[in-house]
Every structure is written in C-alpha cells, then in structure tokens.
Chain A
Amino acid sequence: MTNATKLCLAAMGASLAVFLAACGGGGSSHQNTIATSASNVQTITVNSGPTGDYANGVFTSVTVCVPSSSNCQVIDGILVDTGSYGLRLLSSTGGGALTVPLPDQTGSDGNPIGECAPFVSGLTWGPVATADITVSGEKASSLPVQVIDGTFATLPKQCAAFGVPEQETLSGQNGLGANGILGVGPLVQDCGSQCAQTGSSNPGLYYDCAGTTCTVTTQALAQQVQNPVASFATDNNGVIVELPQTPTTSSVSGSLVFGIGTQSNNALGNATVFPINSNVEFSTGFKGQTYPAFVDSGSNALFFLDSGTTSLAECSDNSSFYCPGSNTTLSATPASTGSASETVKFTIGNADSLFSDATAFVFPTLGGPNSGTFDWGLPFFFGRNVYTAINGKSTPGGQGPYWAF
C-alpha cells in the first residue's frame, strides 16, 4: 500500500468530501456517511478473512450462547451476506471456530434435524442447533442456526445432487473461507412455506436424522434457520451495509447498521427504494435490454451478463472473472416495478492484474460473467449505503422486501 492510499483512507474516515473526490479508483462516484459506534452498529471489515485468501469478503463477529446461559463464544471471520437468511457456523471439526456446545434442534420423534442449505457455488450440510445470538447491542434469543459439520451424518443423496458441500472444497481445511455466514438478506426464513409441506413440492432442505441416516422432513417456519435481524427486539426491519469508497487495497472497514428509520443513525434519507419481486429480484437495464438482477454482499464481484454483451474478455485462466485489457467503465440502470430507476456507473478491471498483487484483498473493480443476469455484488457496496428491508416489515420507505440505495 502506498502512502497516498493511506492518506486517502484517512480522509474517508473523516468523511471529507473534498478528499473523497480525489480518491478515485472505486466503482462508484457516491460519497457516503458511515455510522459510528452505537448499540445498533456492528463493525464490518473487508479483508482476507480467516483463511487469509478471501477476495472481497466482508466479515464481522457474532456472539453465540447456549440459550439462556452464559456459555458463550465470540466468533469472528463471519461473512456478512445480504444474499442469504440465517446464521451458519462452521464447526471446529470442519476447520471453523465454533466450539461452544449449541444444543441440537430435534424433531417430534426426538431425532436431530439436519439441513442441506443450497448456495450458488455449493451447499452447507450439518445439524440445526439453537442459539442466543448477539451482534452489537442487538440480541435474538433461542434462534435456529445451522452448524456446518460434514461429520454430523451421511450426506443425503438428494442433498448431494445440489452440488458440492462448501466445507469440502479444500480437503481438511476451511473450504468456506469464513468461520460462518451471517445471512441478513430481505427474507426471514431460509426456505419458507414449501419446506413445511409434505410431498413433491418440498424441496428437501430439512432432514430428520436417525443416527447417520437422514430423510427429508417437514420443517415449520418457526423452526427454520432464519435471519436473526427479524428476531431482534428493536431495529428489526432491515439492515444497512455501509462501506467507504476504496482503491484496491488489503483491508477496509465500515458498518453494518441494524434497522431502517428506527434510530437517528439509520434514516432512509434520499435513497431510492427498489421493491423486490416474488423471484427475490428486481431488474437492471443495460444497453437497451432489461435483465433480472439482485443485490448481494456475499457475491465477491459484480457478476453480470457475458463477454458478447459487455465486450469484456473473460480471463483465460479463470472464466469466473472478466479480464479486460484496461479498466473499462460501463453504466447500467437498476429499476423496479413502481420505483424510479437510477443509473449506476461502474468500472471493471483485469482480474488477473488485480489478483497479481498478493497483498490486495479489496477489489472495487472486480467483475465476472453471469449470463442474462446482474448480480450487484460487493464492489457495488463501496462508497454507497445499501439498505435491505426484510419481507413483511414496516419501514419509512414502505413495507419490505426492498433494496434501497
């Protein structure tokens, strides 16, 4: 990191617009104010994470306790994910940090409940447990969480068909790249009503496990792994992810703010509200076409469209990212039914060049292909306060679910 970079970061901390304008290098022309310490503010940091090799991962810590006890553990290196719902903790046997003995959730027959939670790049497998969760001054009591633990029971065939368990992507090590995932997205439960149904409409996320043999079971909404924010006593209608504009660097910090319009530090202000449809999407226009889109802090790049549409070359050695010959600035227009649209300018750099700096883990210009879809991943969050309102909760911007920025 150069001296100039350090100066720039220092200026951001002081929210001095005149210095912000000079920083450059980010994917956004916005300047944003970042909430300082308060009972509803949790520090978040984009850095290499617990495995030391994460690109564009935004991490925080949570305190988990055996319910109604003082048997607690603070776990850091938890990925902050607005693209999922519920807390998942990687067990120490799987290379994670969780050691406090959270009690298993059991079904009506007394057997432990297992969960196969699908993510895009894999799945998480392990028992559902119950925990008291504290983040900043906010607490959710006796909430179902997932313990990611491949040794819990045999991976059911129906689950294996979803893909590869995340914890196994690096044998014997922490393949998740995190000690857990804090899902604070726009929905409450991680499955919803279909997991509470019997028959072919049940997608097979929850299992009743007799010994090592697990079979699909129905799981009532209240027993499903769920967004802890929705269960907080206050500030429970959503979150704001606040990260500064940044150049490519090793680490940058910001705030995860709980509640929208519930305190003096979380007003909606002049952010535009984009309602989320039943597909958990909104839309984004690009070069005259409209595509399905979503906002996701847990996606580590701007993943959008394809080389043919964007004229950005894919990297020759890793087709998950773009490698244009030089930094390329594009614009796209997020929109939603019944809302104003907003044009967003962003810059995509060469992923190979970005990754060649072994000390860099914060990449505001990282992009990759995603045919027919816009995934506004973490680079979108730099320099922009992004609001996620939870389904069914009232806010000054209307009832969730929505994204606002």
Chain B
Amino acid sequence: MQARVQSTPHSAYSLHELQSATGRTVREYVSLAGTVFAVAWKGPYPPNLQQLLGSQFEQYEQAMKTPTGHASHGTATIQLPNLVVQLSGHMGDYSGRAYIPDKVPAGLSLESIR
C-alpha cells in the first residue's frame, strides 16, 4: 500500500503509524523482538483485511460465514484461536483492531490499542 510511515518507540513496543492515500490511518504495534502483535485502523474506507490479517484471513472469513444465532448487523468481535478481530463503524467511517492476546506486552492495556 502507498503510505507515509511514522514510528514512535515505547519501552515495551514500538508504534508504526501508516497513512494511506485514501485517508486511512493504520497503526502497527510491534514488539521489541520485531513481531506485529496488534493493528488498529480508522478511516473513510475499510482496510485491506487480507493484508492486515495475513495468514489468519481465511480463519477470519470462515468465522464470519458461521452463523451465531440471530441475524444482525453492527459491530463485530471475532475470536479466533490466537487472534481477536474487532470491527466498528458505519458507511464513511470504519475503525477496528486485531490483536494477538498472548503477545500484548504487560503494561499495555487493551483499551489503548486503537
């Protein structure tokens, strides 16, 4: 993706912020060992989830195709074996995040990943 990148170091991770040409912000949370353990996005169009979720995209697709009771529309939280994907927003305003619960460093609250 064409993007401008800004990096901010923290004690237990570093934060890379990417700004796409379509106006979307993607934040990558990267461990000191270099592993991406969370991504968060916000913008007028949804992100390329295939790119963001990588090898787990197929699992995500399967989970989305599996009915969970009532038909509904709205915010979605998808729990995969080792990944949590949360989608929010409405047309013209999409946000969300995906994170690997085991890999989130101690001291970084889940609430602050956004």
**Could you tell me which A residues sit within 8 Å of B by CB distance?**
49, 51, 53-57, 79, 81, 83-85, 117-122, 158, 160-164, 168-171, 176-178, 183, 185, 187, 190, 192, 194, 199-203, 205, 279-281, 292, 294, 296, 298-301, 303, 306, 308-309, 314, 318-320, 355, 361, 368-373, 375, 377
Taken together as a complex, chains A and B put the C-alpha atoms of A314 and B91 apart, in Å, by: 26
Find out whether the CB atom of A369 lies under 8 angstroms from the CB atom of B75.
Answer: yes
Find out whether the CB atom of B73 lies under 8 angstroms from the CB atom of A300.
Answer: yes
Chain B residue numbers with a CB within 8 Å of A79 are 73
Chain B residue numbers with a CB within 8 Å of A355 are 69-70
A48 CB to closest chain B CB (Å) equals 8
15 A-B pairs in the complex with CB atoms less than 8 angstroms apart: A49-B71, A53-B71, A118-B94, A162-B48, A162-B49, A163-B46, A187-B92, A200-B22, A201-B23, A203-B44, A301-B72, A319-B84, A320-B72, A369-B75, A373-B95
Find out whether the CB atom of A54 lies under 8 angstroms from the CB atom of B90.
Answer: no
Partner of B61, one of A49, A164, A194, A319: A164
Determine the main DSSP class of B at the interface with A: mixed
B81 within 8 A of A: no
List the 3 shortest-distance A-B pairs measured between CB atoms, nearest first: A177-B71, A83-B90, A299-B74
Taken together as a complex, chains A and B put the C-alpha atoms of A389 and B34 apart, in Å, by: 47
Partner of A280, one of B23, B70, B93: B93
Partner of A121, one of B74, B97, B113, B114: B74
Number of A-B contacts (CB under 8 A): 181
Beyond A177-B71, A281-B93, 6 additional pairs, beta carbon < 8 A: A118-B45, A194-B22, A294-B90, A299-B75, A301-B75, A371-B111
Please name the residue on chain A nearest to B2 by beta carbon: A200
B83 CB to closest chain A CB (Å) equals 13
Q: How many residues from B make CB contacts under 8 Å with A?
A: 46
B86 within 8 A of A: yes
Please name the residue on chain B nearest to A281 by beta carbon: B93
Find out whether the CB atom of B65 lies under 8 angstroms from the CB atom of A368.
Answer: no
Partner of A377, one of B46, B64, B74: B74
B74 CB to closest chain A CB (Å) equals 4
Please name the residue on chain A nearest to B92 by beta carbon: A280
Take A118-B94, A163-B64 as given contacts and tell me if A57 and B72 are in contact as well, using a CB distance cutoff of 8 Å. yes
Partner of B72, one of A56, A160, A280, A375: A56
Find out whether the CB atom of A320 lies under 8 angstroms from the CB atom of B90.
Answer: no
Taken together as a complex, chains A and B put the C-alpha atoms of A170 and B70 apart, in Å, by: 12
Taken together as a complex, chains A and B put the C-alpha atoms of A342 and B71 apart, in Å, by: 32
Taken together as a complex, chains A and B put the C-alpha atoms of A185 and B91 apart, in Å, by: 9
Determine the main DSSP class of A at the interface with B: loop
B12 within 8 A of A: no
B88 within 8 A of A: yes
Find out whether the CB atom of B91 lies under 8 angstroms from the CB atom of A84.
Answer: yes
Take A163-B49, A371-B97 as given contacts and tell me if A57 and B71 are in contact as well, using a CB distance cutoff of 8 Å. yes
Chain A residue numbers with a CB within 8 Å of B84 are 319
Take A54-B71, A160-B50, A170-B67 as given contacts and tell me if A371 and B114 are in contact as well, using a CB distance cutoff of 8 Å. yes
Find out whether the CB atom of B111 lies under 8 angstroms from the CB atom of A372.
Answer: yes
Please name the residue on chain B nearest to A183 by beta carbon: B91
Interface centre among B65, B75, B114 (most CB of A within 10 A): B75
Find out whether the CB atom of B45 lies under 8 angstroms from the CB atom of A203.
Answer: yes
B110 within 8 A of A: yes
Interface digits, B7-31 against A, CB 8 Å rule (1 contact, 0 not)?
0000000000000111100000000
Chain A residue numbers with a CB within 8 Å of B114 are 371-372
Find out whether the CB atom of B67 lies under 8 angstroms from the CB atom of A169.
Answer: yes
Find out whether the CB atom of B77 lies under 8 angstroms from the CB atom of A320.
Answer: yes
Chain B residue numbers with a CB within 8 Å of A296 are 74, 90
Taken together as a complex, chains A and B put the C-alpha atoms of A281 and B97 apart, in Å, by: 18
Please name the residue on chain A nearest to B20 by beta carbon: A200
Partner of B91, one of A54, A55, A119: A119
Chain A residue numbers with a CB within 8 Å of B94 are 118, 120
Partner of B51, one of A161, A177, A309, A369: A161
Find out whether the CB atom of A55 lies under 8 angstroms from the CB atom of B71.
Answer: yes
Take A162-B46, A168-B65, A185-B91 as given contacts and tell me if A309 and B71 are in contact as well, using a CB distance cutoff of 8 Å. no
Chain A residue numbers with a CB within 8 Å of B6 are none
Find out whether the CB atom of A298 lies under 8 angstroms from the CB atom of B64.
Answer: no
Taken together as a complex, chains A and B put the C-alpha atoms of A203 and B49 apart, in Å, by: 14
Interface digits, B91-111 against A, CB 8 Å rule (1 contact, 0 not)?
111110100000000000111
Find out whether the CB atom of B75 lies under 8 angstroms from the CB atom of A370.
Answer: yes
Find out whether the CB atom of B64 lies under 8 angstroms from the CB atom of A121.
Answer: yes
B76 within 8 A of A: yes
Find out whether the CB atom of A320 lies under 8 angstroms from the CB atom of B76.
Answer: yes
Take A200-B2, A279-B93, A280-B93 as given contacts and tell me if A55 and B72 are in contact as well, using a CB distance cutoff of 8 Å. yes
Taken together as a complex, chains A and B put the C-alpha atoms of A133 and B22 apart, in Å, by: 32
